[in-house]
């Protein structure tokens, strides 16, 4: 089985080296595809230098900042085109602990189509986040789960592993979301396509270095898209169909 981590980055120079070294030191055979949006702080160059030293690291550079959803679409397209069997996604700001990766891969081997690193199952959580961020994430997830009738408790976690064949069927390149709503869009599509989605607990740490790219605009996008999808689902149910659009 060939594994790859798709790692979107924007101005993560202070985090990327420690992240890539930690992944390398895990001793798990996994490549890394850094998807960088021309970070002005030189993140892409730092990743390339580490690639020369450690191997197994490639950098997909895009001309400018185009959003997390778009970075994932480009990274997943490249990873699927390159023939990997398992695609892992995670943030590059050290919020996601790479030591969970072996558990995720074991769960895929045991039959899961997708594994979500979840903050909202027993053993999971968040540390250091200010009160308002914790509430936003917790209630945003509760709304998403209820409105879309999804079983996972954490639909916006970016730390995941996917069986490549499951991703191919739902075609991530045809998604639309600009921000982290992309993650909900994928869970919804995976669920509607009948995939087995399991959760494994993660403790999410707030970033210590670099700036957050979270914005009011992408929060509004997420709420708007979830509401729109819920309405589409309700209309489809009335017609006796399953909606994935």
Size of the site for Mg ion (CB under 5 A): 3
Q: Return the one option of Mg ion, ligand GTP, none that residue 75 interacts with (CB less than 5 to 8 A, by type).
A: none
Q: Which residues pair with 203 in a beta bridge?
A: 125
Which of the ranges 29-37, 117-125, 167-175, 231-239 carries the binding residues for ligand GTP, by CB under 6 A? 29-37
Residue number with CB closer to Mg ion (8 or 172): 8
CA–CA separation, 102 vs 118, rounded Å?
Answer: 15
Asked if 91 touches Mg ion (CB under 5 A), the answer is yes
Footprint of ligand GTP on 170-209 (CB under 6 A): 180, 207
Give the helix, strand, coil percentages of the chain, each rounded to 5.
45, 15, 35
Residue number with CB closer to Mg ion (95 or 222): 95
Find the shortest distance in angstroms from Cβ 3 to ligand GTP. 19
CB 141 within 8 A of CB 154: yes
Coil, strand or helix at 194: coil
Taking each helix axis from N to C end, the angle separating 181-192 and 68-81, rounded to the nearest 10 degrees, works out to 50
CA–CA separation, 33 vs 59, rounded Å?
Answer: 6
Residue 69's Cβ-count burial label (10 Å; 0-12, 13-18, 19+) is buried
Residue in 43, 70, 89, 95 binding Mg ion, rule: CB under 5 A? 95
Residue in 37, 154, 185, 199 binding ligand GTP, rule: CB under 6 A? 37
Residue number with CB closer to Mg ion (63 or 212): 212
CA–CA separation, 14 vs 119, rounded Å?
Answer: 25
Residue number with CB closer to Mg ion (144 or 156): 156
Residue in 31, 36, 113, 185 binding ligand GTP, rule: CB under 6 A? 36
Residue in 8, 98, 117, 152 binding ligand GTP, rule: CB under 6 A? 8
Asked if 138 touches ligand GTP (CB under 6 A), the answer is no
Q: How far is CA 193 from CA 29, 112, 228, in A?
A: 29, 14, 19
Binding site for ligand GTP (CB under 6 A): 8-10, 12, 35-37, 65-68, 71, 91-93, 95, 158, 180, 207, 212-214
């Amino acid at each position: 089985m060939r594994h790859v981590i798709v790692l979107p980055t924007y101005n993560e120079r202070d985090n990327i080296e420690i992240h890539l070294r930690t992944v390398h030191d895990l001793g798990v055979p996994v490549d890394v595809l850094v998807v960088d949006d021309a970070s002005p702080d030189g993140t892409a160059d730092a990743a390339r230098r580490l690639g020369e030293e450690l191997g197994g690291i490639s950098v997909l550079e895009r001309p400018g900042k185009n959003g997390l959803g778009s970075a994932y679409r480009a990274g997943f397209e490249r990873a699927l085109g390159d023939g990997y069997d398992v695609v892992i996604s995670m943030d590059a700001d050290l919020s996601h602990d790479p030591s969970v990766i072996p558990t995720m891969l074991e769960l895929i081997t045991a039959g899961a189509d997708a594994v979500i690193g979840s903050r909202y199952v027993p053993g999971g959580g968040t540390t250091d986040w200010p009160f308002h961020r914790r509430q936003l994430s917790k209630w945003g997830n509760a709304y998403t789960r209820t409105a879309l009738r999804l079983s996972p408790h954490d639909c916006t976690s970016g730390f995941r592993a996917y069986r490549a064949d499951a991703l191919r069927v739902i075609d991530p390149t045809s998604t639309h979301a600009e921000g982290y709503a992309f993650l909900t869009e994928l869970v919804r599509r995976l669920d509607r396509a009948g995939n087995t989605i399991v959760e494994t607990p993660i403790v999410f740490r707030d970033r210590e270095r670099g700036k957050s790219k979270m914005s009011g605009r992408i929060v509004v996008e997420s709420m708007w898209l979830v509401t729109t999808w819920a309405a589409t689902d309700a209309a489809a149910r009335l017609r006796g169909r399953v909606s994935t659009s």
